[in-house]
Chain A
Amino acid sequence: MIAAADLSPAYDLIVIGGGPAGLAAASLAARAGLSTVLFDENPGVGGQIYRGITSTPVKNGTVLGEDYWAGAALASEAKASGASIVNGATVWTLDPSLAVGISIAGKARLVQAGRVIIATGALERPFPIPGWTLPGVMTAGAAQTTLKAQGLVPSGRTVLAGCGPLLWLLAAQLLRAGVKIEAMLETSSRRNWLRALPHLPDFLLSPYWRKGLGLMREVKAAVPVIPVQKLAATGAGKLKEVVYVSGGSERRLLADLLLLHHGVVPNVNLAMAAGAAHRWNERQLCFVPELDDDFGSSVPGIAIAGDGAGIAGGTAAAERGRIAAIAAVRALKPEASVPAPQVVRQKLAREEMGRAFLDVIYRPSDSFRRPEGDTIVCRCEEVTAQQVRATADMGCEGPNQMKAFLRSGMGPCQGRLCGLTVTELIAEQRRVSPAEVGYYRLRPPVKPITLAELASLPIGEAERKAVER
């Protein structure tokens, strides 16, 4: 394992995140001869989609499926490429001078990059229903993480709720692992179908379509799939029942575990804190970075690849990582040989095909994104939807002012679990678009670090840097 003290003071390329985009980018750049380091927070590479790819106890290949195991090639390719791959490494700051603050095993360092590729992927979209903070309510992604990394599956009465490809995939994976699923509560609106029709031809040409139908058939054969218009988790101290409205009537389901999911959104924290410009994407209902054709951000030298550039899935992420890496090689070592970018771009275009259809068909309904009443919006500071709405009505025009009034977004998650909800609630109250409302101004450290870690930054290095500036 590489310690903070073993790191070089500078690298040609620093890749942040060891999912498909980061692995592909680091491999390509290292092979082209750039001194390359990949920092990843988890104990092993793979990101979320290929989490535990080198260590998962789930040895039965069919449980996680062939798409999961495709990640093994990326991981071994990166390992063989000569890139320095550092796991257990938390990047907590990146600034426009391309200084990267990193913490490994309680020790912090500042490392200088010639170029940076942010490959920090996606987060699950906040799903703020009544009772979502109860023990027994988790996200589907969290359940998938424990399955991949630890081989753990739910044992009690398990209900899935929400929408999106990952929910179907998780349902299928759990079923293959022998889990009984009581019900799958489908929250996307039937009306989405009409809006999605124009995107259908592309979708039919994409690989998603065959895989998607297969998964849905597999799940529907074993689990009742119920369309719902309202959803709540109830119980005293822990989840007892899932309450939902389907076709106008309220029903209740006894449950020990409720797994929520309605899509993923770019994990913008590091990119925004580094100063990269973002804009609202109305189709994906989230903020995405403004990028050039090589995935370069508005900050010179910083590229954003993978789902952090806008949601497109794992295979597209790898191609995006390669394109960003080719640009880094061309900038730093123009004489090095790299794959022809147009070939990679064609592959990427194929991978991205069909995404529009999925975005529209699984667009989460307004009512599941914009809660009301005393439903918690900011979990860290326990701020409710009603408080946010009332404060917006009082004249609070944006999320940054909201931080000051209610402390929403000020806790340890740094807005990851409430940012989009707060933006959308303010937009709804003000009757303007989320683009106009904007997002939290994000500040480093983008991951909390202890005072002791911060104090451990080598003083010689700190002084040297102070002089250089």
Chain B
Amino acid sequence: MRTADVVVIGGGIHGCSTALHLALRGLKPILVEKDYAGRHASGVNAGGVRQLARHVAEIPLSISSMAIWEHIEDLVGDDCGFDSHGTVLVAESEEELAGFRARVDELRLRGFTYEELIDRAELKRLVPAVSDHCPGGVVSRRDGAADPFRTTQAFRRRAIEKGAEVIEGVRVTSLSRAGTVWRVETSDGPIEAPKVVNAAGAWADRIAAQLGEPVPLEVIAPMLMVSSRVPPFIQPVVILRGRKLSFKQLANGTVVIGGGHLATPFRDENRTVLDWSKLTTSARTVWELFPVMREATIVRGWAGIEARMPDDIPVIGPSSTSEGIYHQFGFSAHGFQLGPGTGAMMAELIATGASNVPIDGLGIARFSRG
């Protein structure tokens, strides 16, 4: 019988980060991943590392994560391809800009100053290639982007170096109480541990359901496209609010275009089917916003399978039904940036029973209270 202090289910950025931080606290975690670390959303997302435009409930985790991102190499021994050229939310009309101003003002009242309203001139300075119809926007200057698969792998590697065990290609089949510990049945035999973290992403609802706390998780697969290399023309990540778009030129010149148009996911087959009628909309948006991109070639489209909650914020914290179980899933297409800080918070919560980083409003009980 294998035993551990904590079983972490799921080898995405969150599971790997939590495993690493548990190991750093001297605990022995075993991470169980049904495919390989970073196989799904954590490895194939757009790589945005963004505090901008987050739900208030996530802001503390986002801020604590950003502090880690800025010294990511110290933690995982790899710079994860992180660069910090800011994220710019572009307004396409004066009305939209007015809405952004209200949001920035509200954040300031709460004491958060990292979102900054910018006018047309500053927008042009930050994003010279942007179309002239855009009157301004919001910038979060410390934001950036990283290489998602490399990052997830770096967390996995460092977790192992620090004493975590990572078992890949093994599926968790059930959870049951065995005296004072949890017995985690897997396709490779059982593991017993007093604590379990459910970081199973798009598959996490199945774990929660077994614990008697079903959640309305939607399996989604946000689509991305990448272009061939084009001469450098933009440094920050650009996002839109009115139309769905995220836009980022990597250091190698390729441009990653996303924004949340969805493919059809088949989570039991690890497969997605792209919807070109929606990618056309993305292409048209880029065509209008960045004329310089019109003759760039699209070389690949893809989608990663992940979980979305009805309120678009994650499920984080102790189970409402089962002592010793913790949830960390449902990041609703914006969980990559939160990985480092959420893993640290989760490890602190498990090791000490409390954390200074507030996670109010993110608990699973919000879905059971009717």
Contacts and interface: CB of A to CB of B under 8 A. Distances in A.
Contacts of A405: 149-150, 153
Contacts of A110: 276-277
Given A404-B149, A457-B280, A450 B274 contact: no
Nearest to B227: A451
Given A404-B43, A465-B277, A455 B284 contact: yes
B298 A450 contact: yes
Contacts of A412: 228, 297, 299
Interface in B239-277: 252, 264, 271, 273-277
A59 interface: no
Interface string B127-170: 00000000000000000000101100100000000000000000
Contacts of B281: 462
Contact of A463 (B150, B228, B273, B277): B277
Interface stretch (A89-97, A167-175, A227-235): A89-97
Interface string A85-113: 00000000101110101000000101000
Q: Is the interface of B mostly helix, strand, loop or mixed?
A: mixed
Contacts of B38: 404
Contacts of A465: 277
A74 to B, nearest CB: 32
A448 interface: yes
B294 A462 contact: no
Contacts of A449: 297-298
A451 B276 contact: no
Contacts of B296: 450-451
A101 to B, nearest CB: 6
Contact of B283 (A93, A410, A414, A455): A455
Q: Is the interface of A mostly helix, strand, loop or mixed?
A: mixed
A443 B301 contact: yes
B74 interface: no
Interface residues of B, number: 36
A450 B277 contact: no
Interface residues of A, number: 36
A384 to B, nearest CB: 17
A397 interface: yes
Contacts of A95: 273-274
A407 B296 CA distance: 19
B276 A452 contact: no
Interface in B275-331: 275-281, 283-284, 286-287, 293-302
A466 interface: yes
A397 B36 contact: yes
A452 B295 CA distance: 6
Given A450-B297, A451-B295, A407 B252 contact: yes
A93 B275 contact: no
A56 interface: no
A410 B43 contact: no
A444 interface: yes
Given A397-B36, A404-B149, A443 B300 contact: yes
Given A401-B36, A404-B150, A448 B297 contact: yes
A461 interface: yes
Nearest to B274: A444
A211 B276 CA distance: 47
Contact of B228 (A99, A108, A404, A411): A411
B284 to A, nearest CB: 4
A454 interface: yes
A165 interface: no
Nearest to B277: A462
Interface in A372-402: 397, 401
A443 B302 contact: yes
A236 B286 CA distance: 42
Nearest to B228: A412
Nearest to B38: A404
A448 B277 contact: no
A448 B280 contact: no
A469 B153 CA distance: 36
Nearest to A448: B297
A444 to B, nearest CB: 6
B273 A96 contact: yes
A450 B149 contact: no
Pick from A275, A411, A455, A465 the residue with the most CB of B within 10 Å: A455
A445 interface: yes
A448 B299 CA distance: 5
A448 B36 contact: no
A93 B226 CA distance: 15
B293 A410 contact: no
A443 B36 CA distance: 19
Contacts of A466: 275, 277-278
Contacts of B278: 462, 466
A463 B284 CA distance: 14
B276 A101 contact: yes
Contacts of A108: 280
Contacts of B264: 469
Contacts of A452: 287, 294-295
Nearest to A445: B298
Contact of A414 (B279, B294, B299): B299
Contact of A457 (B273, B274, B276, B300): B276
B280 A462 contact: yes
B277 A455 contact: no
Given A99-B276, A110-B277, A461-B277, A454 B271 contact: no
A387 B229 CA distance: 22
Contact of B295 (A97, A404, A450, A462): A450
B260 to A, nearest CB: 15
A451 B275 contact: no
A445 B300 CA distance: 5
A122 B267 CA distance: 32
Given A462-B277, A466-B277, A455 B301 contact: no
15 contacts: A99-B276, A108-B280, A404-B43, A404-B149, A412-B299, A414-B299, A443-B274, A448-B298, A449-B298, A451-B287, A452-B294, A455-B280, A462-B276, A462-B280, A469-B264
Given A444-B276, A448-B297, 14 more contacts: A99-B276, A404-B153, A405-B150, A410-B299, A443-B302, A444-B301, A445-B301, A448-B228, A448-B299, A451-B287, A451-B296, A455-B284, A466-B277, A469-B264
The 10 nearest A-B residue pairs measured at CB: A404-B149, A462-B277, A448-B297, A454-B283, A455-B283, A457-B280, A455-B287, A465-B277, A455-B284, A452-B294
